[in-house]
Amino acid sequence: MSGRLADALLVAGTTSDAGKSTIVAGLCRALRRRGIDVAPFKAQNMSNNSAVALDGGEIGRAQALQAYACGLDPITAFNPILLKPGSDHRSQVIVRGHPAGTIGGADYRSRRRELAAVAVDALAGLRRAHEVVLCEGAGSPAEINLREGDIANMGLARAADMPVLVVGDIDRGGVLAHFHGTVAVLEPEDQRLIGGFVVNKFRGDRALLQPGLDMVTERTGRRVLGVVGYDPTVAMDVEDSLNVPVESTVGTPAPALGAGPLRVAAIRLPRISNSTDVEALACEPGVEVRWTADPAIVRDAHLVVLPGTKSTVDDLAWLRAAGLASALEQRVAARRPLFAICGGYQMLARRIVDDVESGRGAVEGLGLLDLDIAFHPVKTVRRVAGVADGARVTGYEIHHGAVVRTAEAPLLTDDRYGPEGSRRDAVVGTHWHGLLESDGFRRALLREVVALTGPSGFIVAGDTSAVEVRDRRLDRLADLVEAGLDVDAVLRIARGGPPHVPTLFTRLQW
């Protein structure tokens, strides 16, 4: 596309987890089905759930999913700034897909102009290349204490002269007040960009809600453009590890084909990253995946997954303090299956030398695999493909730690880099994220689990496709958005630009 900039729209939220990522993904798929060349965008993301883009850098997992909804390969321009928290106070900053140091609150203030320029430039490039760009905000635009340095919400909207939809989660309660209050606390120039509202996660009788929606329109001058229903079966890749509560289940598995269920315990690490790795397991009939920090559940499950982490050494210390390290040792001694990914794989080593991520130097690992790990300043970020047990597999790597010595048999052979991962009896480890989305590998792993620990009579489905399951969920999500949201009105707002409707207040009235 050339000439004028494409239509663009920012989807903001009254709160974090209001459903911005989901609404954008649903709209992306709905517009693509209409033949519109649509692309996603998020100026700045804070998440340890990331993916490797086509051009070799990291972006937020939510933007990779939104790209897939658009029929596009993910590129770093879709999420030019990614903050990956390593502690409560500092985050690794990824700029245009690549590490650019760590920042805290003070550092961010000093770099906000630089980061804002990156975001605005990336959005302009996408608007030159596509018909419509759907932008996702971050947190809430009502966080007025952060407005001065904002580059993801109203700061971006004003810089790009872009209209804004505000999404509210009715499950949280108070959504009508959230709509009114969000607009009311904004500066007049920001208020004029708000084009309408969307109620998300609605369950119940729309007629009972309608008087409230009418009052919102009367008091704000903006329409509620839709009420999107709640359907737990369309749950998609989560953006934030805070959305992975302990003792929550992943997805809604279909009934088991034979005896079941097959219970998978995924350990909920404090600094978990790429929690979405386990979602492919939850696609399988009869496989129940539960996040847990309970040693008894870890000992008893048919399969345990030890996932990735943004802070391997710190989460290893937590694992020991929580009694989970002992539970894992007991599993391994009993030949009960354990599958470890990236940081979780590194924890299984005999020795970890980390002068990069934690700065702790040499640390004793769990010793469940005979290998050593060393952290390198240069981060490994790449898409990968290879062969495991004669079958093609794919995945991606995002890590500083690397195997520097091993006495273990490899799990697979990488096409470019040779042996990868480790396998010893019932213990399997790999640096590859996304490996469980390779259908043949996942089925073989589950068959091994059934052979070792049961449940007796469990049948591993032979036709589950993780990619097809994701595609069907995106289509159901688009159906849900189309049914509840006036998509034509959304397009008119995107094409017409900011509505510049009257402000509610020239300043907040308490």
Q: How far is the first Cα of the chain from the last one, in angstroms, to the nearest whole number? A: 48
Write down the pLDDT at residue 3. 54
Q: Are residues 204 and 312 in the same domain?
A: no
Q: Per residue in 204-241, pLDDT tens?
A: 899 999 999 999 999 999 999 999 999 877 766 555 55
Q: Are residues 336 and 270 in the same domain?
A: yes
Q: Are residues 263 and 293 in the same domain?
A: yes
Residue 133 has pLDDT above 70, yes or no: yes
Q: Are residues 384 and 415 in the same domain?
A: yes
Q: Are residues 166 and 265 in the same domain?
A: no
How far, in Å, CA of 348 to CA of 357, rounded?
17
Reply yes or no on whether 433 is catalytic.
Answer: yes
Q: Per residue in 388-406, pLDDT tens?
A: 999 999 999 999 999 999 9
Q: What is the mean pLDDT of residues 366-377?
A: 97
Q: Per residue in 301-360, pLDDT tens?
A: 999 999 999 999 999 999 999 999 999 999 999 999 999 999 999 999 999 999 998 999
- Indicate whether 111 belongs to any domain: no
Q: Are residues 204 and 298 in the same domain?
A: no
Write down the pLDDT at residue 1. 45
Q: Are residues 224 and 282 in the same domain?
A: no
Q: Per residue in 250-302, pLDDT tens?
A: 988 889 999 889 999 999 999 999 999 999 999 999 999 999 999 999 999 99
Q: Per residue in 437-477, pLDDT tens?
A: 999 999 999 999 999 998 999 999 999 999 999 999 999 99
Q: Are residues 73 and 178 in the same domain?
A: yes
Residue 428 has pLDDT above 60, yes or no: yes
Reply yes or no on whether 135 is catalytic.
Answer: no
Tokens of 385: 């493909």
Of the residues 178, 180, 399, 433, only one is catalytic, namely 433
Read off the pLDDT band of 243 (50, 70, 90): low
CATH number, domain with residue 299: 3.40.50.880
Q: Rounded to 5, what percent of the chain is helix, strand, coil?
A: 35, 30, 35
Q: Are residues 452 and 486 in the same domain?
A: no
- The CA–CA distances, whole Å, from 373 to 313, 349, 414 equal 11, 7, 19
- Indicate whether 246 belongs to any domain: no
Mean of per-residue pLDDT scores for the chain = 92
Neighbours of 360 (CB within 10 A): 16
pTM here? Answer: 0.91
CATH number, domain with residue 185: 3.40.50.300
The residue assigned the tokens 């449940």 is: 455
Of the residues 70, 342, 400, 431, only one is catalytic, namely 342
Q: Are residues 285 and 350 in the same domain?
A: yes
Total domains, the chain: 2
Write down the pLDDT at residue 237. 54
